[in-house]
Amino acid sequence: MPTQMSPTERYTVELTRQAEKDLKDLRPWTKQATDAILRLEWEPRRGHTLSGSLRGARALEFSLKGSGVYRAIYTILDQDRVCLMFIVGPHENIYDKAQRRYDALRHSGEI
């Protein structure tokens, strides 16, 4: 079992507006998905690292009972102690959508 971080080491999980909408679209599994995502507060590197054009981002895999396998894709902003979630959705085709959002975040200077 991983060692728990002290409160000063805790990260904040922030969602972009689009990711908030993604999460709401998961009804009736929104709470289950939120619980999985909030584990990043204590384990920000829980998701696996991505490569290629999504290098620098991470993908957290989780299952929603009765709905299947999902991904939450985020980047870690260590200097701010933030996990910035920019897409949440089913595994199928998520990386293409994630690429567009990731490029937009980089272009805007948010990451």
Quick one: what percent of the chain has pLDDT higher than 90?
A: 79
Tens of pLDDT, residues 13-32: 999 999 999 999 999 999 99
Q: 17 lies in a domain?
A: yes
Q: 3 lies in a domain?
A: no
Q: 69 lies in a domain?
A: yes
Q: Which long-range contacts (CB under 8 A, 24 or more apart) does 5-12 make?
A: 5/42, 9/81, 10/41, 10/42, 10/81, 11/40, 11/41, 11/42, 11/44, 11/76, 11/81, 11/82, 11/83, 12/41, 12/80, 12/81, 12/82, 12/83
State yes or no: pLDDT of 106 exceeds 80: yes
State yes or no: pLDDT of 3 exceeds 70: no
Is pTM beyond 0.85? Reply is: yes
Q: 24 lies in a domain?
A: yes
Residue 1: band (very low, low, confident or very high) from pLDDT cuts 50, 70, 90: very low
Which CATH number fits the domain that encloses residue 51? 3.30.2310.20
pLDDT of residue 4: 57
Q: 6 lies in a domain?
A: no
By the 10 Å C-beta count (0-12 exposed, 13-18 middle, 19+ buried), 74 is classed as: buried
Number of domains in the chain: 1
62: domain range? 11-108
Mean pLDDT of 73-77: 97
Q: 2 lies in a domain?
A: no
